Structure 1
């Protein structure tokens, strides 16, 4: 059963006449009639009642009509998708990223998209294993670690590390704190799986100091919650919650501590144009959201 013949069948149903349908599909009337007879023979049923002036569907034809429409619609969808693949565009992509990046960066960026943009599925990954998701079906991965050489990619953003304190804290009137001052306070930090923690540890080591860690958390939201409940100062990179006050953390040279986000993908990916458009758009959004200092490069 050929899709071409199904299209002929639908044309006759919509026009009610073999003559009008033949003109619409640009085929001779005798040929169209033969195609319909062949379809009926293939199916083993009579689809049209030919006794009147208008081609009316039989009971079998009425049952077959929605099936034919569904098959043609599916074929048209497949052809459109194939055209998108051939042009390097995709109607849907999957993005893998750490949960904090999804909440604070990717989701707000996707909220700026329109209905003409591709659908995006986002899956949360451990920060240390984000790039591994590319071997499990993800189309693009976002991580704080530079991508491996086997992948293409670009720097997306540089986001500051924040020390969060309650409004009642003596530092609540300030906008920044040095790493030396921070090491003298009880801290709530993330686990070593997070790039934020690794950057903090390196800055502390470079300053020749040590941390007073009262709690390690796997999620930055919990770290901020513990700070809000008075257990210490949270050091994270996500946006403020629970009414906490953010302080930039300066290293021993007076430079803000920053975490870098990178996007990576397979250089030979069939949807290369869509992926590159997503990554460059995300980088542009970060600059618009957080200022020029957030530019990835």
Structure 2
């Protein structure tokens, strides 16, 4: 701990430019701070500063050491924060892993509703093809459309309808259609998402099962691009995202069964903050339900 304090003193001197100013900011005496610096330079085995007039400048070795010291101090702060979280069982921060479209449509709007008394939630992109257990190596909670993974605590987050999105002058929009069977996609030009997208996987599976042939104009990993091209009249967009660019949304069905992407939330059952994660998932479930009801 004393070595970390000595490193913090060193960084304070770097930032202040002089020992006297650093001492004033730290509220320690200048001689005491000078002794700490001298001890550190003996430990390192080289000079860390050189004098420039009344100030100090880092030597080449000092510049390298300062970068490492800052990184070590930041890591120490994270370790202390983690220790406090473990002791309380309530995390100060959590990471959610999810596909890009899920972050855009569900996670980011949800984060905007959280107050400061909740943990700090951040998100990282994880492919829908990545197993949940793998995504949890770098996250506390994973949202995915894959089947539940044995050994993980999994909750159904909600069901996102797979829809056709067409321009307002398309016959389906003019007829105010609310549902369209996938058979009506036969021979149609489609603008769809790439193969790692869950809505694309649901669509491909049903089309293959029923032997329906379609024409794909293009595919994109970005839902906004799919919608923009559909709005430009390039084809029928197929996706789960809420409509943009004035597009008309129509629920796709397989006979009488709606096409849906079932979203799951999964986390490690022995996570130290499992209870808090479960609470967050409950709020997420309510949020996703509201999103689906609002747009579909």
What is the TM-score with the length of structure 2 in the denominator? 0.70
1:57–1:227 CA distance, 2 compared to 1 (3 A):
closer
The CA deviation at 1:227 is 1.0
Aligned with residue 207 of structure 1, among 205, 210, 230: 210
Residue of structure 2 equivalent to 1:256: 258
Q: C-alpha distance in 2, partners of 1:107/1:134? A: 18
The CA deviation at 1:231 is 1.1
Q: C-alpha distance in 2, partners of 1:246/1:63? A: 70
Structure 2: runs of 5+ lacking an equivalent: 3-22, 36-74
Residue of structure 1 equivalent to 2:219: 216
Q: C-alpha distance in 2, partners of 1:130/1:239? A: 26
CA contact (8 A) 2:81 2:92 kept: no
Do structure 1's residue 268 and structure 2's residue 258 form an aligned pair?
no
The CA deviation at 1:93 is 0.8
CA contact (8 A) 2:136 2:267 kept: no
Between 127-136 and 99-108, report the one with greater CA deviation. 127-136
The CA deviation at 1:212 is 2.1
Residue of structure 1 equivalent to 2:289: 287
* Equivalent residue pairs, number: 240
Residue of structure 1 equivalent to 2:83: 82
Deviations 1:249-297 (A, max 9, x none): 1212x22211011111111112212221221211111122323999xxx
Q: C-alpha distance in 2, partners of 1:105/1:224? A: 17
Q: C-alpha distance in 1, partners of 2:192/2:126? A: 19
Residue of structure 1 equivalent to 2:98: 97
Counterparts of residues 96-175 of structure 1 (less than 5 Å): 96-129=97-130, 131=132, 133-173=134-174, 174=176, 175=178
- The structure number with the bigger radius of gyration is 1
